[in-house]
Amino acid sequence: MTAALPWHPCGVNLADSAFLRACRRQPVPHTPVWYMRQAGRSLPEYLRVREGVPMLTACSTPDMIVEITMQPVRRYGVDAAIFFSDIVVPLKAIGVDLDIKPGVGPVVADPIRDAKGLRTLRPLEPDDIPYVTEAIQALTGELGGTPLIGFAGAPFTLGSYLIEGGPSKNHDKTKAMMYGEPELWHALMERLSEIVLTHLRLQVAAGASAVQLFDSWVGAVAPADYREFVLPHTRRIFEGLTGVPRIHFGVGTGELLGLLGEAGADVVGVDWRVPLDEAGRRVGPGRALQGNLDPAVLLAPWEVVERKAREVLRQGRAAEGHVFNLGHGVLPSTDPDQLKRLTDLVHEAG
């Protein structure tokens, strides 16, 4: 695998960026900040670009990917860009019949529930997603000294969409396979891990300076089950990826934070339910933390946002490195002006 170049072609030393330094637990001039789902439906300029264009078309059109990835960097001055795509893009690219339905999320036509379904999941080849490489190469030029975060969905979260056929509250069919057919489950997780690794390595080779693994729905799993059914796979992914900081995020993972620490990422993302000082104790030493303002706080008056953000910054000081973020993605009804003010506040106060 190609390690990310510390020197950007235009002479900016990316390794000196506050974001990459915080991920590596090095001293920073200010607390770096970016937002999960910073590119997207709360931005009027995003809505204009996306008008009449289906989500998966946007995700496979390099010009659109570059423009949408740049929008929040221009507007907010965040310390990192996140590649505009979706966790299901590599699955679509290997032939899974799926779509992203507005207001719903990914929907899979033929859910995978048996060995025959599993065989339809072939390995991902770089040629399947040429638009990802092309867009990342263009972005590293546009971004200058701002690092680009590549990402993938984790095997559990991708597996849940494939098994359930769409978004799920209880992940019941997913758990039924996990408990009832453990061999099939592990075979599915292994196949998905291969796809994820290829996808992340390709993004790093093209110029991504860090990667985030989104295991958004893994909070549905109890710690003992996480250890048996999920941890071996996420650990293999992080072991297979070196050279750039690796961030590991899930929602509702309060009881799993110690195990996320064991999975091997450099940075553990924390949702809003556990204060960062307590999260640090649970994750253990040798990891930076990312998070964790409740995204709903941004819908309250600015005075509330400021008070709560300062609290997150204060609790984050206990961590060996802190990347300010929300506890989950930006909500569509968020006023972009609040995010701009929050970004400035973190830079000044942190």
Catalytic residue positions, numbered: 37, 41, 50, 86, 161
- Contact between 275 and 295 (Cβ < 8 Å): no
Residue nearer to ligand CP3 on the CB measure, 64 or 87: 87
Checking phi first, is residue 95 left (phi over 0); if not, alpha (psi -120 to 50) or beta? left
Instruction: Answer whether 289's CB lies under 8 Å from 283's CB.
Output: yes
User: Residue 102 CB, nearest distance to ligand CP3 (Å)?
Assistant: 4
Q: Contact letters (x/-) for ligand CP3, 238-277, by CB under 6 A?
A: ----------------------------------------
- Interface segment toward ligand CP3; rule CB under 6 A; list 24-32, 83-91, 127-135, 295-303: 83-91
Q: Which window, 33-41, 116-124, 170-178, 218-226, contacts ligand CP3 (CB under 6 A)? A: 33-41
Stretch that binds ligand CP3, among 79-87, 266-274, 307-315, 318-326 (CB under 6 A): 79-87
Q: Which two tokens stand for residue 262?
A: 């064991």
Query: Residue 107, interface with ligand CP3 (CB under 6 A)?
Result: no
Q: Which residue has the tokens 């600015």?
A: 302
CB burial of 227-252 (b: ≥16 within 10 Å; e: otherwise) equals: eebbbebbbbbbebbeebbbbbbbbe
Complex with ligand CP3: residue 31 or 85, whichever CB lies closer:
85
Do residues 316 and 349 lie in contact, with contact meaning Cβ atoms separated by under 8 Å?
Answer: no
C-beta of 195: minimal distance to ligand CP3 in Å?
Answer: 15
Element containing residue 200 per DSSP (H, E): helix 182-206
Residue showing tokens 């997150």: 312
Could you tell me how many residues of this chain bind ligand CP3 (CB under 6 A)? 23
Task: Name which of residues 41 to 70 contact ligand CP3 (CB under 6 A).
Answer: 41, 50, 55
Interatomic CA distance for residues 189 and 111, integer angstroms: 15
Footprint on this chain of ligand CP3 (rule: CB under 6 A) = 36-41, 50, 55, 82, 84, 86-87, 100, 102-106, 151, 157, 214, 216, 329
